[in-house]
Structure 1
Amino acid sequence: MKSVFSILSLFILMSFQSCENSNSEIIFHKSHEPSRADVPFSDAVETDDLLFLTGQIGKNHKTGKLVTGGINAETKQVIKNIKDVLEYHNLSLDDIVKCTVILKDIDDFKDFNWVYTTYFPKKPARTTFAASGLAGGASIEIDVIAAK
Structure 2
Amino acid sequence: PEVKSKRREVHMEILSEQVKSDIENSRLIVANPTHITIGIYFKPELMPIPMISVYETNQRALAVRAYAEKVGVPVIVDIKLARSLFKTHRRYDLVSLEEIDEVLRLLVWLEEVENAGKDVIQPQENEVRH
Whether TM exceeds 0.5 here: the answer is: no
Q: Which has the larger radius of gyration?
A: 1
TM-score when normalising by structure 1: 0.27
The structure in which a higher percent of residues are helix is 2
TM-score when normalising by structure 2: 0.29
The structure in which a higher percent of residues are strand is 1
